[in-house]
Amino acid sequence: MFLRDCWYVVAWSHEVPSQGLLARTVLGEALVLFRTQDGSVAALADRCCHRLAPLSRGRHEGDCVRCGYHGLAFDAHGRCVEVPGMETVPPGLAVRTYPVVEHNRWVFVWMGEPERANRRWLPDNFSCDHPDWVYRPGYLHYEVPWQLIADNLLDFSHLSYVHEATLGGSTAIARARPRIDPIERGLRIGREVKSVPAPPYYAALRAFDGPIDRWFIYDFLLPATLLMNSGGRLHGAPEGDSASEVHLHSCQALTPETESSTHYFFQQAHPRHLGDEKVTEGLYQGVIRAFEEDRAMISAQYGAIRRGGEQAMMSLPMDAALLQFRRLVEREAAREAGLT
């Protein structure tokens, strides 16, 4: 199920070059992205209206992209501005354009009707572009439907088992019941875990000489964006005690490529005063290792689902957040369809 009245992350800012083209598929639609001379990003359908060749096989020229097959040039608004061999461009010669916003180093594309694009629905991914936070940008490609990855992010009990040697480190995470609250266009999920060993992942930041108290508090917003405060402090230490605390902020976004493949954009940011480039790289390598653990498990799950025919999943109390979010997606889809 694809929602269309949403901002989808289509790229990190650095992926769209000042000279050149970026091809990316979103919701099964091929797009080509490029920058105009003023630095803004344009997104067009990656298909020339003449012979339907991919525009991404052409070239970037100033504020235009030129088709590599017969040389038609299209501006950032999708209008054909030149047809080689013709003095005038036939009226109506154009390709579809998509509203684009570059926001805190994420490039967002609106896949619904342009007149419904609502900038207020852009997520607050502040740590992607804030002087007090440092991270290394990440991207993974999944050959699974986006819903399975969203399910994984909505239920952190898996940290105890999938990430036993990385992000987890304790079965207490799975035993802790989260608090789930509805918010505008999403859910807020909080989980606190008291007096547990520090996870191996924290070693990049600091060593703890005893058990710690951990917290995970995040918003999960339509279409599938996670914004999370997480961390841990020495058990019994007061809140805000920087000498015994790890504080992290993470921004993650799922963008369906097709019905069975997904773009995954992510970062794990740490406060600038807590470490140098080695710390940033250590956190990145730690989260990559953990997310590869996720990808291996979810890919195996998807394989089992495809082999299992019509067998349905069973729901347990740990599934509360993911079931609520799936219902939210269903309600939004019905609204888009004019059924509610």
User: What pLDDT does 203 receive?
Assistant: 86
User: What pLDDT does 78 receive?
Assistant: 98
pTM, two decimals, is: 0.95
Residue pointed to by tokens 């995040």 = 218
Give the integer Cα–Cα distance in Å for 279 and 284.
9
Pair of tokens at residue 237: 């230490």
Give the integer Cα–Cα distance in Å for 121 and 99.
13
User: What pLDDT does 340 receive?
Assistant: 72
User: What pLDDT does 311 receive?
Assistant: 80
Pair of tokens at residue 329: 């997606």
Mark 68-100 as b/e (b = at least 16 C-beta within 10 Å): beeebbbbbebebeebeeeeeeeeebbbebbbb
Task: Report the 10 Å Cβ neighbour count for 121.
Answer: 16
User: What pLDDT does 169 receive?
Assistant: 87
User: What pLDDT does 204 receive?
Assistant: 84
Per-residue pLDDT of the chain (340 residues; tens, 9 = 90+): 799 999 999 999 999 999 999 999 999 999 999 999 999 999 999 999 999 999 999 999 999 999 999 999 999 999 999 999 999 999 999 999 999 999 999 999 999 999 999 999 999 999 999 999 999 999 999 999 999 999 999 999 999 999 999 999 899 999 999 999 999 999 999 999 999 999 988 888 888 889 999 999 999 999 999 999 999 999 988 887 777 889 999 999 999 999 999 999 999 999 998 878 999 999 999 999 999 999 999 999 999 999 987 788 899 999 999 999 999 999 999 999 888 7
Query: Could you give the domains of the chain?
Result: 7-121 (2.102.10.10), 126-336 (3.90.380.10)
